[in-house]
Amino acid sequence: MYIQPELNSWSGRIDDVNDPKSFRYHQVVEMKSVNDELKDANQHISLISFASDEGVRRNAGRVGAAKGPDAIKGALSSIPWRLGNPSLVDVGTVQCEGENLEQAQAFLGEQVTKLLGKGNHTIILGGGHETLYGHYVGVRNAMGSNAKLGIINIDAHFDIRKHDVQPSSGTMFNQILSEDTNTNYMVLGIQEFGNTTELFNRADQFGVHYVLEEALVSMGETALNSMISEFIAKQDAVILTLCMDVIAAPDAPGVSAPSPFGLQPIFVRQLIQQIAKDDKVRSFDICEVNPIYDQDNRTAKLAAQFVNEVVRQFSK
């Protein structure tokens, strides 16, 4: 189901009602339907929400991520807008009704295709990490089947489980790589003891380029940036997806599967800056913010800062 954007989703501190230099996100964001014509499309950054945690439920995780998009918007609202002229557009929400995950993912894909076709940079606020499959469908349809698509996943988990019974928040990359030989997958931040040996074996079979969390933080900036740039250079376009459970639990307690070990927020911010600045990256999703288990809105606030970093890079 598609829900039109609502201005009451955005509210926060107001320092001045007239001076743009004093504005915050909630004072600059526009409300548009996905069907509206957008002038100067290349100057638009579109936000679309995916209110779903059906995939998390199927994957036996802690449900509640369907409320994540509103929590992220609430935390984003009062961040100062220091990003110049590009306009930020909220184009509403795709909501998963009941157990109809596959239909919701397909519909999200249609909207992403539409937005990318208008020249927009697109940011999807999840939802469980099943958000990524709808995101992928939209980008793939926008590009065509022959284009080389790279997906960079900042995540503690491969999300490459078999989907013999039902797809879930843990199966997306198995679905994609089983069907699409023109997609390449890189995942950064894998937890060695957060994935079974069978999942590591399957990742090797698919040729997944992965880096364990402890190896990632010890690589050094030059080697890390070189590795990322080399991967991006081989693609025609790149999707960036971030699962918030890659962050250490003290900094991100409100997720489906909190990790006692994990990446530090400042390190993830550096990864986002390095990846999102590349012109081949036109879309991003952030997933697994679960307000039910959050503490002092800590996870939502951190997610909002990550979204701000992507908006910052896209606005350049």
pLDDT, residue 40, reads: 53
Which tokens go with 262?
Answer: 């994990």
Query: Which bin fits 302, alpha (ψ -120 to 50), beta or left (φ > 0)?
Result: alpha
CA distances from 149 to 95, 143, 186, 285 (A): 26, 8, 11, 15
User: Which residues, including other chains, have CB under 8 Å from residue 100's CB and lie 6 or more apart?
Assistant: 54
What six digits make up the tokens of 92?
A: 């509403």
pLDDT at 7: 86
Each of the 316 residues of the chain gets a pLDDT tens digit; together they read 999 999 889 999 999 999 999 999 999 999 999 887 665 555 689 999 999 999 999 999 999 999 999 999 999 999 999 988 778 999 999 999 999 999 999 999 999 999 999 888 999 999 999 999 999 999 999 999 999 999 999 999 999 999 888 999 999 999 999 999 999 999 999 999 999 999 999 999 999 999 999 999 999 999 999 999 999 999 999 999 999 999 999 999 999 999 889 999 999 999 999 999 999 999 999 999 999 999 999 999 999 999 999 999 999 8
- Secondary structure percentages of the chain, helix, strand, coil, to 5: 45, 20, 35
Q: Which residues contact 181 (CB under 8 A, 6 or more apart)?
A: none
Task: State how far the alpha carbon of 134 is from the alpha carbons of 102, 140, 274, 284, in Å.
Answer: 9, 10, 24, 12
Query: What kind of fold does domain 2-315 have according to CATH?
Result: Arginase; Chain A (3.40.800)
- Closest by Cα among 171, 47, 184 to 112: 47
What does pTM read for this prediction? 0.96
In the chain, domain spans = 2-315
Distance CA 125, CA 256 (A): 15
What's the CA angle centered on 12, arms 49 and 118, to 5 degrees? 35
